[in-house]
Structure 1
Amino acid sequence: MYGYALVGYLDNETESCFKKLWEDLSENNITQYGVDTKGRRPHITIADYDNLDSDRFVELISKFYEDKSRVAISLNILGTFINTGTLFLAPTLSTELLYFHNRHHDYFKEFNVNENSFYLPGNWSPHCTIASRLDEDNMIKAFKYCKINLNKINLNKIHGKLNEIALIEVEFNEEGIAIKDTVVFSKELK
């Protein structure tokens, strides 16, 4: 089973710090989330799509994003989505980030066929996932680890940028768990 997502990748320094966090959580036997999925990079999801004519969509996103600027972000919220086992860092919802998101969805509204998507305007909680599918004990361990160690790896109130947008194809296993992210198209922002 496959799906698609349009994601914003982080600047190199922020991505490196985030990957270090994933490695530390793995080495401490808290979660394998960041290292298990082939091709996974830390990102903020802008939109998701169940079915997509990817060739046509790539043409449109290439044109739409050709003059778009990088978006400054401040990742300063450590949180969880209730009853999901997901731990994340979230950016302040700045006017610039919200405008970036809304412009995408305005331009690509014909593709927004899933009215229950968590990524639609008015329903979007931008975040960068640290771990998912955590049981209660590992959620507590991961939260505590992050609370103590984020400052040590420069992810405490980090100011970074969304540098690049990418259309990724996500492969899911039979349980609906992402097992592989493949970049279909990416474009550096100005």
Structure 2
Amino acid sequence: MYAVELLFNKEFDEYVRKAWMHFDKEGISHFMNRFENLSPHITLAVYTDISDLEGFKEQLKIYFDNVSPLRLRFDIVATFPTSGTIFLAPTMTDQLQRVHKDYYKKLDKYNNQASIYYSPDQWNPHCTLGTQLSREAIAKGIHDVVKEFEPMDGIIERMSLVKIELSEEGNRNITIFEQSFES
């Protein structure tokens, strides 16, 4: 499985990692904190497979050459209860919506391999704090996050194409391609 992830500035990255460590320490969820080579992110797209990886990377570079950093306001703490996920969600901006829709237009030849949950009509941009949680852990996690929550800006500064490996021994991201955005 592959994912295209939008990655944050140092301050927001550290803010999310602090939540991951708290969830791990408190026994709420260790999933995010122990996922090897994982960075806080918003997932733009997920692919079951990419048949032409070199061509795909070339198209990513061309597309993201024209993307500028995006400033997002994170003032929503929410959950996807069916997957046991707690996340921070940004206020949707025209710029974020345009980047997402244009991405799917420019890389449309790969859409048949993409997960529908990230398609333009289904996408809920979010930054995961914990996942695979029981209902009780969701309640505790939300309580802990909200207790000290302050709305915060995050700046998307770069993108990464990662290969995701899930296994009994541990989960990891393998970076295939990464590109910073130009101001």
Does the alignment reach a TM-score above 0.5? yes
Secondary structure, aligned partner of 1:9: strand
What residue is the counterpart of 2:26 in the other structure? 28
Answering whether residue 77 of structure 2 is matched by residue 78 of structure 1, we say: yes
1:137 Cα deviation after fit? 1.2
Secondary structure, aligned partner of 2:146: helix
**CA distance, structure 2, for counterparts of residue 43 and residue 54 of structure 1:** 21
What residue is the counterpart of 1:187 in the other structure? 179
Provide the aligned length of Structure 1 versus Structure 2. 181
Q: Retained in 1: the 8 A contact 2:70–2:96?
A: yes
**CA distance, structure 1, for counterparts of residue 33 and residue 129 of structure 2:** 11
1:160 Cα deviation after fit? 1.7
What residue is the counterpart of 1:54 in the other structure? 53
Secondary structure, aligned partner of 1:113: helix
Secondary structure, aligned partner of 1:138: helix
1:100 Cα deviation after fit? 0.8
What are the residue-to-residue correspondences of 1:1-190 with 2, within 5 Å? 3-52=1-50, 53-114=52-113, 117-150=116-149, 156-173=150-167, 179-190=171-182
User: Which residue type is aligned with residue 16 of structure 2?
Assistant: F
| Identity fraction in percent | 24
1:116 Cα deviation after fit? 5.3
Q: Retained in 2: the 8 A contact 1:89–1:130?
A: yes
1:27 Cα deviation after fit? 1.4
**CA distance, structure 1, for counterparts of residue 5 and residue 174 of structure 2:** 12
Secondary structure, aligned partner of 2:103: helix
1:123 Cα deviation after fit? 0.7
What residue is the counterpart of 1:153 in the other structure? none
**CA distance, structure 1, for counterparts of residue 12 and residue 37 of structure 2:** 17
1:5 Cα deviation after fit? 0.6
**CA distance, structure 2, for counterparts of residue 65 and residue 84 of structure 1:** 30
1:149 Cα deviation after fit? 2.2
Larger mean Cα displacement after TM superposition, 57-66 or 122-131: 57-66
Q: Retained in 1: the 8 A contact 2:164–2:173?
A: yes
